[in-house]
Amino acid sequence: MIQLQMRVHLLSLVFIFCADAHKILVYNLKFAHSHGNFLGNVADLLVEAGHDVTSLIPEIAVQLKDGTTKSKIVRVPADPEAAKAHRIFDTGEMDFFSVNELNPFMLYAMSNHVGTMFAKQCEATLDSGVVEILQKQKFDVYIVESFDICGMMLAHLIKPRAIIKTSTTVLLGEQFDEVGVPLALSSSPSTLSRSLDIHSITSRAWNIFSEQMTRLMFAGPRRDVGRVFRERFGEEYPTLKEISSNVAYVFTNSEPLIDFATPTLSRVVDIGGLGAKEPKELDEYWISVMNRRPKVVLMSFGSLAKSYLLAPSAKEAILKVVSAFPSVTFIWKYEKKDEFALGDAAKIDNLVLTDWMPQNDLLNHPNLAVFITHGGMGSVQELALRGKPAILIPMFGDQPRNAAMIEHNRLGKVLSKTDINNHEKITALLKELMKNQEFADNSRRIARMLAKKPFSSKDKLLKYVNFAAEFGPSPALRPQSHDMSFIEYHNLDIIFIGIFASVVFTFLSLKAAWFVLSRIHIRKIKNE
């Protein structure tokens, strides 16, 4: 008890004497593991730095962890309809392996589904009374993700000194417009693009189509949540774009050293890898598994894409791949002890099925040769930090682009999820990654570079939050493009005037030439 009191007293002293201590609110919707962990880690790092941090957690998915263990928590109970809508994602009812992520009809349906879910939870948040409580707190900084735009729309009510917009991935779709960052679709893959050949007209055209599908995917939540605020507070309530245009900074969970070089702004700060934990020592069981053979291949499709939902042909193809490498141990995240797991899979000696694995710790083991992954941002950053090459099989969301950037930097290869049942392709890719030393060398080099970055993501997080808390948003960092129309931004008025002037000049020049030639012709006739 005495030790506990001393710790509380020392913590109080930290808050009292820390010159940069500020009141910070973090909006952390319980929707997906990766989102919650990233924002929860942001909150905890700020607490460790001496700030007074509150996490606002609307609990759509109550079964998920809070993400934060150190900040104060204000919970908003799940709206029953929103929670019901979310269960389709978390209970394995949606088969992401067979879904075409570029099918506009599927994207439209999913967009509406997510939009309804977010809107219902947003209504519950507004009805809970927490907004009125938070208004009185006078927060210095409000850190909020715009995947669920309810958090950003609440900023106008909470009125912090500074807003910091975040993305737990890279900027996606309309977020470029909302922040004012130019979108270079000719040289950077859109969110749903697995690859981009900059010299191919077809590839660039497909990239433009992918971007439109990305925007379709986010249209539902923006429309439905925006409607909630307009109906409650009137048509004059600021739009998402208006609120976003005045943020102090934008934090992205992006790591430039493994990404594409693209246009950006000074107020966009990359803090990629912030949520990556230091690897821990493996327990006896996992040590024994990792040491059974000289090489290990780890396979996981994340928390939402369940391996047991794979088609029988795909499962059999994976077993053929495993059998083709008898001197390699395969660890496969497989969530059910079903007939396949207890039957055919159990007969293969070099295959280990597990419903959970210490992924980050396994990636750090020297025997880990290749990581077969869905390409979620967390997994991509972990494999880069641990220096491991990968086969990426993207499912949805930001995963196609994440996979493209890893292949672009020669850290791995991309396989379409439609080819999971093609054991020959998977076998060929595994052989290439294990035999071609370039991939292993590149991966180790990137790991060393990430370990020696001039400024760590944590340093940037703390310094930019302190700066925003003290000075608020800077008008100098707000691009003028926010105040321009589409025509003005793209200089279409100048282009139109230029084309019109050129047409008029050409027409008058031809008329003048015709007049001169006619006069010459007439004189010639008279002289004859």
Predicted local confidence at residue 11, as pLDDT: 39
CATH topology of domain 2-275+456-481: Rossmann fold (3.40.50)
Contact 402, 380 (CB under 8 A): yes
Closest CA to 296 of 389, 230, 214, 400: 389
CB proximity list for 178: less than 8 A, separation 6 or greater: 146, 165, 240, 241, 244, 245
Closest CA to 25 of 154, 122, 129: 154
The whole-chain average pLDDT of the chain stands at 90
CATH for the stretch 284-451: 3.40.50.2000
- Quick: pLDDT tens for 294-335: 999 999 998 778 899 899 999 999 999 999 999 999 999 999
Contact 414, 222 (CB under 8 A): no
Phi/psi for 82 (5° steps) reads -65, -45
Contact 157, 135 (CB under 8 A): yes
Q: What angle do CA 415, 37, 467 make, to 5 degrees?
A: 115
Predicted local confidence at residue 90, as pLDDT: 67
Count CA within 13 A, CB hemisphere, residue 496.
Answer: 6
Phi/psi for 522 (5° steps) reads -65, -45
Closest CA to 226 of 211, 212, 244: 244
User: Tokens standing for 90?
Assistant: 């978390």
Are β-strands 249-252 and 268-270 bridged in parallel, bridged antiparallel, or unpaired?
parallel
Contact 50, 168 (CB under 8 A): no
Give the mean model confidence (pLDDT) for residues 431-449: 95
- Quick: pLDDT tens for 54-70: 999 999 988 888 999 99
Helix ranges (H only) for 306-386 are 312-323, 339-342, 359-363, 377-386
User: Tokens standing for 124?
Assistant: 């519950």
d(CA 366, CA 272): 24
CB proximity list for 159: less than 8 A, separation 6 or greater: 135
d(CA 174, CA 217): 10
Cα–Cα distances (Å) from 232 to 126, 225, 226, 239, 325, in that order, read 10, 11, 10, 13, 61
The pLDDT of residue 4 is above 70: no
Predicted local confidence at residue 92, as pLDDT: 60
Closest CA to 397 of 119, 232, 229, 173: 173
Contact 468, 164 (CB under 8 A): yes
Contact 360, 342 (CB under 8 A): no
The pLDDT of residue 414 is above 70: yes
pLDDT band (50, 70, 90) for residue 203:
very high
CB proximity list for 335: less than 8 A, separation 6 or greater: 92, 306, 307, 308, 355
User: Tokens standing for 131?
Assistant: 């907004």
The pLDDT of residue 17 is above 60: no
Predicted local confidence at residue 33, as pLDDT: 83
- Quick: pLDDT tens for 93-118: 667 787 788 889 988 998 999 999 99
Q: Give the percent of the chain with pLDDT over 70.
A: 95
- Quick: pLDDT tens for 156-197: 999 999 999 999 999 999 999 999 999 999 999 999 998 899
Q: Give the percent of the chain with pLDDT over 90.
A: 79
CB proximity list for 318: less than 8 A, separation 6 or greater: 299, 310, 332, 420, 423, 426
* Residue ranges with strand state E in 253-317: 268-270, 295-300
Using DSSP's 3-state secondary structure scheme, residue 489 falls into helix
Contact 393, 415 (CB under 8 A): yes
Predicted local confidence at residue 273, as pLDDT: 86
User: What global pTM score does this model have?
Assistant: 0.88
